[in-house]
Structure 1
Amino acid sequence: MTDLNDPRLRDQPEPGWQILDRDLNRISRVELATTYVSQPLVAVGIALVFVALAALWGGLITGGGSGSLVIVVASAFAAYLALNIGANDVANNMGPAVGANALTMSGALIVAAICETAGALIAGGDVVDTIASGIVSPASLADDSVFVTAMMAALLSSALWLNLATWLGAPVSTTHAIVGGVAGAGIMAAGFGAVDWPGMSRIALSWIVSPVLGGAMAAGALWVVHRLIIDRDDKIAAARVWVPVLIAVMSWAFATYLALKGLKHLFDVTLGQSVLIGSACAILAYAAAHPYIRNRAQGLENRNKSLKVLFQLPLVLSAALMSFAHGANDVSNAIGPLAAIASTLGPAGEGGQIAVPHWVMVIGAFGISLGLMLFGPRLIRMVGVQITKLNAMRAYCVALSAAVTVIAASWLGLPVSSTHIAIGGIFGVGFFREAVEARRMRQMAGAITLPDMAVEERQRRKLVRRSHFMTIVAAWIITVPATATVAGLLFLLLGRLQDVAIN
């Protein structure tokens, strides 16, 4: 047999098969690199196809009638906004479950896509206020062409801001984005007097109220879980007693939350009735959870890691319910202005209200789900993993705080953002962990001598990443001003383009 390493053969011409293998390896490496680089482009391409199909569908629905070109452009803007809502906002629902390893990324995307679409199509708004929840006075935009231009500017400015926030890794409130867009376009169209400033003040108040309430609720829930289960000598025995109770509490919170927020478009329900619905669901949930937890707890080791098995199912269900409620409520952010434009250029609803056509609702529902599937994983990882370490118990507390805080805010009449509540809850459990760790270190310092650490090392050991904290808070603060400014500029640009087209 010929020895290919024989020095006598080094100066001989290479066999053809060696040259071929070497060239094929180079081609394979180039192919692999090209595939890696092109992955983001595939998602962008699919998104562009969806936007084009939405615009085409809008044109076909109008049948080439009066204002059909405007409907086509507005449909494209709404589809673009829906994609960005899916990419940014849904991470708040799925991030904790993924961070706690209760759901894989693929499983989270599938569950969220199904529940978001179902929430939007089943319980989505039947009517949308003419001008985005009364932020701008209808009388100030009485001229149809001015109103349509303002709505288009609001759509595009909100979509652009959400796209930038997603790229920066900052979960922001889509409701604040669309409200800022409408306010900015309204100011440019009719002056500062056109804006409902008391309403804007309430929105500004929610920047503080939402994350603080969410963080306090989540930290309080985690403290309760520590006292009832985690800090007990026999954790599994304590879990058998208290986890069914915690599941019942979560069932009450989410049933009440869905009745208040997700199902209000199907039937009228008061806060008291919602609480009664939630109480009935809590009783049923406890009856089902008690034997389930008893069976799941058999044979588990007495340690914290074993407890995550008992919290997995509640986390998956909570993520699904949050996505359903999000689809029911936030789809209006994507398609509200489009519905207003379609109504203005077609038959209007009664009483200043706008009936949302089914084709408009479909654009919003599928756009949110598609945006989640294409661009959501990056922000889901950031929310679930990179802010602070989440396990099943901490993620449970975040989910519970989101539902309970919305209920409490509705009872108190406070404006809150579900996005800010969820992110505030994650920060809340992270800062609670830091407080517990600091207390443990102080207790240890009394017994042993701890080594001195540099300031940089102390910062590295923080359990909440301060860089994410500052980025997210900054994005929250500038969301309304940024979208308002961009919407005002877009209003002028779109107005100029319309004038050029007419002349």
Structure 2
Amino acid sequence: MPEVTLVLLVAVIAAALLFDYINGFHDTANAIATCVSTRALTVRTAIFMAAGLNFVGAMISTKVAATIGKGIVDANNITQVVVLAGILGAIIWNLITWYYGLPSSSSHAIIGGLAGSVVAHAGTSALHWAGLKKIITVLILSPVVGAFFGFLFMVIMMWTFRNKAPYTLNKVFRKLQILSAAVMAFSHGTADAQKSMGVITMALVSYGSLATFEVPNWVKLSCAVAMGLGTAAGGWRIIKTVGHDFVKLQPVHGFCVETASAAVILGASAMGLPTSTTHVITSSILGVGLTKRISAVNWGVASRIVTAWVITIPASASVGFVSYMVFSPFLGK
């Protein structure tokens, strides 16, 4: 029935915007945890700066949205119920990891949720294996690159300023860190808000509102606003895990972490590759921490973070699969 299909489309759009909002407060820590940890900015100031720049970054490009919308599943097997179940898989997993203060990947969650729901609908043949392989390869490699650049930038800073007094150095980098945190927040917007844009546009194409996959301006604006509002709400639990518990940071460390992370994320977004901002920045923190000494890293927290990374895709895929099986008898295929 057309009325039911329209209601489902509205439900999908609302769920995607809710995911963007949750993504905002779930991933706030990615942009600001280090500058809060080093006291370069107060928590309130950092969150509102991140909210604004997340919004700006989300409006810049739609390359990542196209990758999410066209690179995971076969368009012929996309229905409103498939998309809705996939989003629910991502939302539920994000809320679980937020509750426990684990900085898991929203990118992994939405990819897993969509994959699980489409498999429930049409089997594994409906997955774009080449696209998934490319996306997952980038998601795996980007933390490695983030750790390498974090380590490299920190070594360069240590060598360049080896004769400077720590007090003077931290005073300078506390100011520079505000700039690097701003760039990190902007890069987060270019990457993470794109996922919901891709999902909503996918649903619009499935409904017939769009003939081709092209993100409308109202979708870009609504996702940017949802991401900004979520960021403004703040992710206090994850800020504590990333900014305080993982590695103790000074302003120069925070500057290197944010600069390395932003470079990796912006580079990937420019190529339309969806990275996990969570993975990149936590691995950059790890790289910076290793320049101090191995014991500078809280390996207990690190193991919790890695565990969340490993199980996010299968966990969100499972929830997406179950959500589809629950809803499809009532809402249709």
Q: Which structure 2 residue ranges, 5 or more long, are not aligned?
A: none
2 CA distance for matches of 1:170 and 1:196?
29
- Is the contact between residue 217 and residue 425 of structure 1 (CA under 8 Å) also seen in structure 2? yes
Highest CA radius of gyration, 1 or 2?
Answer: 1
- Is the contact between residue 5 and residue 80 of structure 2 (CA under 8 Å) also seen in structure 1? no
Moved more, 475-484 or 373-382: 373-382
- 1:183 corresponds in structure 2 to 115
- Determine if the alignment matches structure 1 residue 152 to structure 2 residue 152: no
Q: What are the superposed Cα offsets for residues 388-421 of structure 1, whole Å, 9 maximum, x if unpaired? A: 1111110111122213434776899997533212
- 1:431 corresponds in structure 2 to 290
Q: State the shift of 1:130 in Å.
A: 8.8
Residue 130 of structure 2 aligns to which amino acid in structure 1? P
Q: State the shift of 1:377 in Å.
A: 2.5
Q: What are the superposed Cα offsets for residues 84-105 of structure 1, whole Å, 9 maximum, x if unpaired? A: 1012223111111111211110
- Is the contact between residue 207 and residue 477 of structure 1 (CA under 8 Å) also seen in structure 2? no
Q: Per the alignment, do residues 494 and 198 of structure 1 end up closer, same or farther by CA in structure 2, a change over 3 Å counting?
A: same
User: Which aligned runs of 4 or more in structure 1 are off by greater than 6 angstroms?
Assistant: 407-415
- Which structure exhibits the higher relative contact order, with contacts defined as CA atoms closer than 8 Å and separated by 6 or more residues? 2
Q: Structure 1 vs Structure 2: percent identity of aligned residues?
A: 29
- 1:355 corresponds in structure 2 to 215
Q: State the shift of 1:471 in Å.
A: 0.9
Residue 323 of structure 2 aligns to which amino acid in structure 1? L
Name the SS of the counterpart of 2:71 in structure 1: coil
Match of 1:119 among 47, 57, 69: 57
- 1:213 corresponds in structure 2 to 145
Q: Superposition pairs for residues 11-410 of structure 1, below 5 Å?
A: 67-120=5-58, 122-125=59-62, 128-129=65-66, 132-139=69-76, 141=77, 147-229=79-161, 231-232=162-163, 235=164, 303-350=165-212, 353-358=213-218, 360-406=219-265
Q: State the shift of 1:188 in Å.
A: 1.4
Name the SS of the counterpart of 2:53 in structure 1: helix
Name the SS of the counterpart of 1:311 in structure 2: helix
- Determine if the alignment matches structure 1 residue 476 to structure 2 residue 293: no
Residue 79 of structure 1 aligns to which amino acid in structure 2? L
1 CA distance for matches of 2:61 and 2:240?
28
Residue 477 of structure 1 aligns to which amino acid in structure 2? V
Q: State the shift of 1:476 in Å.
A: 0.7
1 CA distance for matches of 2:6 and 2:264?
43
Residue 308 of structure 1 aligns to which amino acid in structure 2? N
- Is the contact between residue 51 and residue 229 of structure 2 (CA under 8 Å) also seen in structure 1? yes
Moved more, 392-401 or 305-314: 305-314
- Is the contact between residue 21 and residue 226 of structure 2 (CA under 8 Å) also seen in structure 1? yes
Residue 312 of structure 1 aligns to which amino acid in structure 2? R
Q: What are the superposed Cα offsets for residues 152-183 of structure 1, whole Å, 9 maximum, x if unpaired? A: 11111111111111112121222221111111
Q: State the shift of 1:423 in Å.
A: 0.7
Aligned pairs, number: 332
The two structures, once aligned, show a CA RMSD in angstroms of 2.8
- Is the contact between residue 21 and residue 230 of structure 2 (CA under 8 Å) also seen in structure 1? yes
